[in-house]
Amino acid sequence: MQSRKKRNWTIAATVAATIAAVVVAMNFATPEKKLQQTMPHRHAVSDPQFRREMGVMLGPGLLGGNHVVALENGDEIFPSMLEAIRGAEHTINFETYIYWSGEIGKTFADALAERSRAGVKVNVLLDWVGSIKIDDALMKEMKDANVKVELYRPLKWYNLGRLNNRTHRKILVVDGKIGFTGGVGIADQWDGEAQDPDHWRDLHFRVEGPVVWQFQAAFNDNWIKTTGEVLNGAEYFPSLTDVGDLDAHMFTASPAGGSASMHLMYMLAIAASSETIDLQAAYFVPDDLIVEALLAARQRGVQVRIILPGQHIDSESVRLASKASWGDLLEHGVEIYEYQPTMMHNKMLIVDHEMVSVGSTNFDGRSFRLNDEASMNVYDHAFASSMSKVFELDLAETTRYTYETWQQRSLKEKFLESIVRPIQSQL
């Protein structure tokens, strides 16, 4: 009898372990759609063919007539977002990864609740993992005001196989006319002017014009996945006229829809570069194809400059996995700079002073293959030049990391890199 019980327990334990292993494997699986090789340099970013391929082969078409305002750090970003929210007349759609309790979280909850009580339709989509630090009181305040608050992929049995696939998008759309995207989260460390290590450096963008339709469609994508509800009609998609002269489009990516499209977008941009690549990345863990593409750019004389977080970074494992890949890049003339004052959370790519890509996407495997991401591309020389000035000002706050420094890494650092490198796509 004892033998039979022991055998049954062994079978049950084996089944449980197998189920757990399958669930873990499902969470760490990447989509089937996968790039296998780098692309040759066929045309420049300024060539109409480049825009044609970016808009037709990859995703939403380019829309003209847009106006984009770059906002720097919390002191500019949060007041602009709150002004738009408080001025809403019909609808507010808001999707974000980080929403934590604190002063900023309370201020946003108050503004969203007030507009809902005033009759505005307010829909809020928070990532379950990213918003795990939000107080129940803030959730209750919004829900009591009839704000529709939904959590993206909460801990439920039917989500177990997708718990590792999070929404990292940062999208705010007000009345279907004003859009925001960038890197900022709703938390106190983004407040201020990046004046010390407790206040992060970041960029966000206020957008008006026809491209806001694509912001709204991007929000709808995950809202439908979460609720089954389609948000349409003139209050969400009003007629939009030209308010500027910028050509832009909003890219989205998710494992369910083939997240490799974001990876491919960056690969095409790097392959089209002729003069300069300026990249700011909060998390930079390039795969072999990205490294090959950057090295190919260097071989044709492109200056490649990358600004990354320095000593102030919120994930040491990401830093270790990142640094392990720097050797070939540094040896072949890629310039890597570490931002010194605080955590640098910017996500911006500028190519040949003609194209700027901004949004939620990091330069790592998690953003390229596991997360739901959203990034806006703007094609305009004047706008790119203005963002290059922002890049240069940040560059003045960095220390250059050389190939010699990389070669002199300690044995301990190299050992830790070897531990995290095999799981770099999950960091």
Tokens of 108: 């946003």
263 catalytic residue (yes or no): no
**Residue of 204, 249, 347, 353 marked catalytic:** 347
The Cα 175–Cα 90 span in angstroms is 5
DSSP for residue 58: S
What is the SS3 assignment for 398? Answer: strand
**Residue of 170, 177, 199, 353 marked catalytic:** 170
The Cα 149–Cα 94 span in angstroms is 10
Q: Let me know: does 161 contact 187? Beta carbons within 8 Å.
A: no
What does the angle CA 31 – CA 36 – CA 39 come to, to the nearest 5 degrees?
125
What does the angle CA 376 – CA 332 – CA 296 come to, to the nearest 5 degrees?
50
Tokens of 390: 């922002």
Tokens of 319: 């830093």
352 catalytic residue (yes or no): yes
**Residue of 127, 175, 247, 394 marked catalytic:** 175
Residues 6+ apart with CB under 8 A from 307: 279, 280, 281, 337, 338, 339, 344, 346, 391, 394, 395, 398
**Residue of 188, 191, 352, 372 marked catalytic:** 352
**Residue of 199, 249, 263, 345 marked catalytic:** 345
DSSP per residue, 223-281 = HHHHH-----STTTS------S-EEEEEEEE-GGG-THHHHHHHHHHHHH-SSEEEEEE
The Cα 165–Cα 369 span in angstroms is 9
43 catalytic residue (yes or no): no
The neighbouring-strand residues paired with 318 are none
Number of H helices, E strands in the chain: 14, 17
Q: Let me know: does 297 contact 268? Beta carbons within 8 Å.
A: no
**Tokens 């995950």 -> residue:** 222
Q: Let me know: does 206 contact 69? Beta carbons within 8 Å.
A: yes
225 catalytic residue (yes or no): no
Q: Is 170 exposed, middle or buried (0-12, 13-18, 19+ CB in 10 A)?
A: buried
**Residue of 127, 168, 177, 221 marked catalytic:** 168
Q: Let me know: does 93 contact 172? Beta carbons within 8 Å.
A: yes
- Residues classed as catalytic: 168, 170, 175, 345, 347, 352
